[in-house]
Amino acid sequence: MSKQAPAPTTAHQLAALPAQTRAALDRWLHTLASERRMSAHTVTGYQRDVLNFLAFITRHTQTEPTFKTFDALRVADFRAWLAHRRRHDSVGARTLSRGLSSVRSFFRHLARQGLASNAHIVLVRTPKQPASLPRALSIDAADKMLAGIEADRSWTDARDLALVTLLYGAGLRINEALSLDAQDWPKRGAPLRVIGKGGKTRVLPVIGAAHDAMEKYKTACPHPLESGTPLFRGARGGRLNARTAQALMARLRSSLGLPESATPHALRHSFATHLLGAGGDLRTIQELLGHASLSTTQTYASVDATRLMEVYDQAQSKKENSARK
């Protein structure tokens, strides 16, 4: 049996494109990084999606992926690509949706540049997403987790307690917390400024427990926490990575008998859920989480349906009253 040919690398895929298409793709990726301030990881994902699409279209239409080819594509062609990915690449609805979003973004760029125009892509339905939300911990489980970290044993335990307390107490994404530098940590009583998705800055209050845990960690840390250095340090002094934080949560789940849903992101979800359940205003929680729309927060902070709808209705009433003024 002959060996299967290796998958083409990104460099080979780019080299196979017509020069004008490759130049347009480069300009689009540059726009994503410079103007929309997407991370390098996200830009790479967008590029991968579009290259996959272009490779399929080349085979599907038996023509080069030129602007003229893009103009001629129909709804059936886009659907054929999605069906191919589902059948041959075994990808789920979430990956298909992200890929379609990437291709739509590229086609919008082409249209803005006057290079190609295709109205059919907007008629392609986004694959239906499975209903899956991170499960919030109960308040007792969250307290149990914080109490389960013996911060007095070592400086890394003090660091772990500071990190977990911050994730739960401020609703941070794990990457937001780990990207903080020493000078970013505020004095007691001052707010914390965090750079979230899309390079957007949001200002967050810091609870006393988080400050106490952070001060204990900073005192115990053997590495100098100077301006320009990471706030959360790994054992050798470098920036703590997300994998280490996830391993910490896994150990806590095992030792404390917590559910598998107890992940770093679940702490952010727990922050929103518990705050909303305690009577927090939905729009305030939206700002704290850094969500662009209220509907995202409504879905994310999934608590008792009666309580959620009550708060949501209040928020909508405030919006309507403001519009009348």
Say which of 22, 86, 98, 197 is annotated catalytic.
197
Clarify whether 223 is annotated catalytic.
no
Clarify whether 46 is annotated catalytic.
no
- For residue 50, how many other CB atoms are within 10 A of its CB? 21
Clarify whether 197 is annotated catalytic.
yes
At 143, give phi and psi (nearest 5°): -65, -40
What does 253-316 look like in DSSP terms, one character per residue? HHHHT--TT--HHHHHHHHHHHHHHTT--HHHHHHHHT-SSHHHHHHHS---HHHHHHHHHHHH
**Identity (one letter) of the amino acid at 153?**
R
Residue 239: helix, strand or coil by DSSP? strand
Clarify whether 120 is annotated catalytic.
no
b/e burial code for range 56-77 (CB count within 10 A of at least 16 → b): bbeeeeeeebebebbeebeeeb
Clarify whether 325 is annotated catalytic.
no
Query: CB of 266 within 8 A of CB of 137?
Result: yes
Say which of 85, 109, 159, 173 is annotated catalytic.
173
Say which of 144, 265, 283, 312 is annotated catalytic.
265
Say which of 268, 312, 319, 324 is annotated catalytic.
268
Residue 176: exposure state from Cβ atoms within 10 A (0-12, 13-18, ≥19): buried
Clarify whether 268 is annotated catalytic.
yes
So which residues are the catalytic ones? 173, 197, 265, 268, 291, 300
